[in-house]
Amino acid sequence: MSAELLDLSIAELATLLRDRKASPVEVTHAALDRIAKVDARLNSFITVTAEGALAAARRAEEEIGAGRWRGPLHGVPIGLKDLFDTAGVVTTNGSRIFKGVVPAVDAVVTTRLKQAGAVVVGKNNMHEFAFGSTTNNPHHGTCRNAWNPDHIPGGSSGGSGAAVAARLCFMSMGSDTGGSIRSPACLNGIVGHKPTYGLVSRRGVFPLSWSLDHAGPLARTVRDAALTLQVIAGHDPGDPASASLAIPDYAAGLEGGVRGLRVGVPREYFFERATEEVESHVRAAIRTLEGLGATIVEVSLPHVELAATAGMAIISVEAADIHREWIRTRPDDYGADVRPRLQAGALFSGVEYTRAQRIRALVQQEFREAMTRADVLAMPNNAIPAPRIDQTTIPVRGKDVWVMALMPSLTIPHNLTGAPALTVPCGFAASGLPVGLQIVGRPFEDATVLRVGHAYEQATEWHRHRPAM
């Protein structure tokens, strides 16, 4: 029974825990046992917090037994990308520089999850300082895809994606600056949600780019992502970008369906940058939404092709500012891929950074105009399925493309806009690796994005597949 619990969704497990038909201690032991058996192959955790997890599980069991059930995350084993501060537990940020550094206080998101009764089983592997798309980490070891360990899990939240897909935890928090929640979710065949910029506090989350960073969940189902968002969303006066607004019941609106909603399909860029195989799966997913009653409309985003270049310029400059002292005094403590990108970020001029921000404003304007014609947009999440770990270029429509540039190319536009973006699995490539549909909405209309994702998920079986670990 213990191992079978790990195949449940958070929503399914929560009912059993609430009704005392399953035990938080039992399910936490099962998760820790599975980590011990499987993670030597995946390397999805940097730190496993077995002692603290079991103590939290015992508290949860006592509270639920006394009739003090806190909600759907109470007693549920989760992970945290290793840039969320955890009081008393080392937070490495995937780096050598922070090796052994133990925060005194939790990140705001960590606090909110603990207050909801979640059981943190460990800190997930990540690309160094979140500045990359592969999670080939030189300091903590290469993380591997849950479906095929010869392939990357995506990044920078690669450990989170692999751990959730492999049933090592039920949800893991990630960060997303250019696609780092959505890409590993897509490549591991699970759900990833980048909430609207400002909806979830980033205080206590080590920054990559202050104006593009988002924090959000990687989970197995859209409902699980909604249940998590319910806990972590809300104003934080300590985060200058945090929005102050009423938080709806995200799970309550999931069953509304898509009938009458307008789904916009971008004419430019997104499909032509993807492989024919990925395009075929995503077009089929859009036809499924149409079959469920959505109206499909074409929208135009004439300058969206500039978003990736502008976004990487903004990230590079802002990251170089954050790392300016360490890159000067401790350059050898950075990995061979991250160090030159930080050094290059310092070479951008103020004029170039300003131009990138002007492109960002243009892209934002075009998205606003497109969203007057549609309630959500639908497009591929990643241009390709997960490449091999040793693969630096990959052919797309007859051209060899650099993997590191390709990974965020279809996701980073939505970091520039700050709009909510969700990926849900929509098929498998001939290689057996997952493909993802990306759904994007208007700012702070996360509930609509989740509703559309849930409707698609319930009409298909892709989310029920699991890797043979």
160, 175, 180, 316: the active-site residue: 180
Amino acid, res. 372: T
Asked if 180 is an active-site residue, the reply is yes
23, 156, 172, 409: the active-site residue: 156
Q: Count of alpha carbons within 13 Å of 308, Cβ hemisphere only?
A: 13
Strands 295-299 and 262-266: parallel
- C-beta separation of 46 from 81 below 8 A: no
Q: What whole-number distance in Å separates Cα of residue 347 and Cα of residue 151? A: 33
Q: How far from the centroid of its chain's Cα atoms is residue 158's Cα?
A: 9
Element (H, E) at 47: strand 45-48
Asked if 156 is an active-site residue, the reply is yes
Asked if 99 is an active-site residue, the reply is no
23, 44, 81, 160: the active-site residue: 81
**Residues labelled as active-site residues:** 81, 156, 180
